Amino acid sequence: MENESNLQLTFSKRLAGLFKKASEHCTLCGAEIVIVVFSPGKANKVYSFGHPSMELLVDRFLGRDLPPPNNEGRHNHLLMNHQMLFFVSSIRRS
């Protein structure tokens, strides 16, 4: 979009719609959802949605609050942890 204010307006409307749909999905289906969105343009702000809690779900994804895993599926879990840590470190560098 050419106009920065139009871009921000469109972003805000779409973001609100995205978070509303995520909230509805949590309510209707019992889903647990985390969404991280970076705003466009120079502001480059971070917006997030998490249900029931962003911290709880990220910790679960990273394996911080899981019981000791059995060896079945451990490789996939470690690979996902590595990918998430890479994602988090790249966000912090931005």
Quick: pLDDT tens for 16-58. 999 999 999 999 998 899 999 999 877 789 999 999 998 888 8
Query: How many CA atoms within 13 Å lie on the side-chain side of 8?
Result: 8
Identify the CATH assignment for 1-52 out of 3.30.70.120, 3.40.1810.10, 3.30.365.10, 3.20.20.540: 3.40.1810.10
C-alpha span between 80 and 44 (Å, rounded): 26
**Residue 37 φ/ψ, nearest 5 degrees:** -130, 135
Looking at the whole model, is its pTM more than 0.85? no
Structure-block tokens of residue 76: 């996939």
